[in-house]
Amino acid sequence: MRVLVVGSGGREHALCWALSASPLCDALFCAPGNAGIAEVATCLPTSAEDIAGLVALAKTEKIDFVVVGPEGPLVAGLVDKLKDAGIKAFGPSAQAARLEGSKGFMKDFFARHKIPTAAYGRFSEAGLAKAFITEKGAPIVVKADGLAAGKGVILCQSVAEAHAAIDSIMTEKTFGAAGNEVVVEEFLVGEEASFFAIVDGASALPLAAAQDHKAVGDGDTGPNTGGMGAYSPTPVVDEAMQARIMDEIILPTVRGMAQEGSPFIGVLFAGVMITKDGPKTLEFNVRFGDPECEVLMKRLKSDLLPALIAAVDGQLKNFDLRWHDETALTVIMAANGYPGTPQKGTVIGGLDAAAAIENVTVFHAGTKTEERDGKSVVVANGGRVLAVTAIGKDVREAQTRAYQGVDAIKWPGGFCRRDIGWRAVAREQKR
């Protein structure tokens, strides 16, 4: 089977790494890919946002199965267009992708189907949003309605800060059209986890939970990013909590989407706050998380491809996947300047030394190969650049190995957090 993965991040490298090991996969392509993906797949220079270009490419390359990584092309209808062209693709339709594409749609969906979430208001006028904030008081959360690369959420400790967030999103349009509407919601207190399930329109196969680290700095300080590191499994989602998340969040969503005429096929990713009153949904994403995908793929024992095909064919019921019991942990190395404007073009050394460490895999995100002084080198080409991923018998061992990998990489142009996994390490120490 000829398989095409769409995207160019660490998530897509991890997907390509897993898919390239499948006996069902005869040829693997990635558009546009990166320097690391080029080692396991043929990279083709079509952008993940170029919907018509991707459909044309899939036809030319006689692709049998497409796996779409990022949310942009899903929300823009890539899966629908591929289907029209007779090509099977894993991921939701544009209709179903609204779960991520519009926070207002998502919140109203939660309300219709009684899915636990933070209390909220939805506004398209700044004055009304501010009045609601004044009435509710702080702390409070302000969110741009549309896609804002994971940065459109502002946690406000005071009413003045929340009013300023409304001005920034709705008046100054910091996130462009994504800020035409806002959601203002209750501030939830608890520990956060990312929960993943593969869905075939009617049934859901739970994958695993992971914990992300969104803030740029150690100790969860500084502005939010797409994610600076992750580990899986996470002690905050034990078997009982997984069963609650499936029963209270995932399955009602799958049933609700089918009832409303937009059955969900793909990865359903619930951002969950584990509060003292149980799990509450912070958000849905309609794809694998990045960097969560890197740790999930490192832990997955079974072949990924048959599960993705079964989802598209509506055959997930009774499907089973096997996982390594060990913990996987990934540390993101980002280019200096991220999450602001990252510095591009700096040379990255030591990649082979890092990859040679036992149980360490270096997934690439924003990288490309360039000729410098007649030699081919890997250079930074984005904000998040590498996902140094390791597996170990517990979170401490995985963490030690991942940082051995990080320390083998010679890249003055980049930085990382030094505390990925701290919550789980603190729990292990308490025991």
Residue count of the chain: 431
Quick one: what does residue 290 bind among ligand GLY, ligand AMP, none, with the CB cut-off 5 to 8 Å set by partner type? ligand GLY
Rounded Cα distance, 92 and 94, in Å: 6
Rounded Cα distance, 101 and 284, in Å: 9
Q: How many residues bind ligand GLY (CB under 6 A)?
A: 8
Rounded Cα distance, 90 and 201, in Å: 12
**3-class secondary structure, 29:** strand
Q: By CB under 6 A, name the one of 80, 292, 294, 326 that touches ligand GLY.
A: 292
Interface segment toward ligand GLY; rule CB under 6 A; list 45-53, 114-122, 185-193, 283-291: 283-291
Pick out residues in 187-226 that bind ligand GLY (CB under 6 A).
212, 226
Q: Is 136 in the site for ligand AMP (CB under 6 A)?
A: no
Q: Is 100 in the site for ligand GLY (CB under 6 A)?
A: no
DSSP code, position 300: B
Q: Is 138 in the site for ligand AMP (CB under 6 A)?
A: no
Q: Is 271 in the site for ligand AMP (CB under 6 A)?
A: yes
Q: By CB under 6 A, name the one of 14, 57, 115, 118 that touches ligand AMP.
A: 118
Interface segment toward ligand AMP; rule CB under 6 A; list 156-164, 181-189, 300-308, 311-319: 181-189
Mention every residue, 6+ apart, whose C-beta is less than 8 A from residue 265: 79, 90, 91, 92, 93, 96, 199, 200, 201, 311, 312
Interface segment toward ligand GLY; rule CB under 6 A; list 19-27, 81-89, 287-295, 336-344: 287-295
**Looking at beta carbons only, is 80 or 185 nearer to ligand AMP?**
185
Q: What is the smallest separation between the CB atom of 414 and ligand AMP, expressed in angstroms?
A: 24
Q: In what order do the strands lie in the sheet with 27-32?
A: 42-43, 27-32, 2-7, 65-68, 88-90
Interface segment toward ligand GLY; rule CB under 6 A; list 61-69, 238-246, 285-293, 326-334: 285-293
Q: Is 415 in the site for ligand AMP (CB under 6 A)?
A: no
Rounded Cα distance, 299 and 327, in Å: 7
Closest CA to 304 of 38, 90, 34, 43: 90
Rounded Cα distance, 264 and 246, in Å: 15
Q: By CB under 6 A, name the one of 69, 91, 101, 227 that touches ligand GLY.
A: 227
Q: What is the smallest separation between the CB atom of 424 and ligand GLY, expressed in angstroms?
A: 17
Quick one: what does residue 289 bind among ligand AMP, ligand GLY, none, with the CB cut-off 5 to 8 Å set by partner type? ligand GLY
**3-class secondary structure, 275:** strand
Q: Is 192 in the site for ligand AMP (CB under 6 A)?
A: yes
Interface segment toward ligand GLY; rule CB under 6 A; list 126-134, 284-292, 300-308, 392-400: 284-292
Q: Is 150 in the site for ligand GLY (CB under 6 A)?
A: yes
DSSP string, 309-372: HHHHTT--TT----B-SSEEEEEEEEETTTTSSPPP--EEB-HHHHHTSTTEEEEESSEEEEEE
Q: What is the smallest separation between the CB atom of 96 and ligand GLY, expressed in angstroms?
A: 17
DSSP string, 52-121: HHHHHHHHHTT-SEEEE-SHHHHHTTHHHHHHHTT-EEES--HHHHHHHH-HHHHHHHHHHTT--B--EE
Q: What Rg, from alpha-carbon coordinates, does the chain have?
A: 21
Quick one: what does residue 122 bind among ligand AMP, ligand GLY, none, with the CB cut-off 5 to 8 Å set by partner type? none
Residue with tokens 């994958």: 207
Q: What is the smallest separation between the CB atom of 41 and ligand AMP, expressed in angstroms?
A: 29
Residue with tokens 């959360």: 141
Query: Nearest to ligand GLY by Cβ — which residue?
Result: 227
Q: Is 67 in the site for ligand AMP (CB under 6 A)?
A: no
Q: By CB under 6 A, name the one of 30, 31, 170, 188 that touches ligand AMP.
A: 188
Distances, alpha carbon 146 to alpha carbons 97, 129, 173, 176, 327, in Å: 12, 16, 12, 9, 34
Binding site for ligand AMP (CB under 6 A): 118, 141, 143, 150, 153, 155, 185-188, 192, 214, 271, 282-283
Binding site for ligand GLY (CB under 6 A): 150, 212, 226-227, 285, 289-290, 292
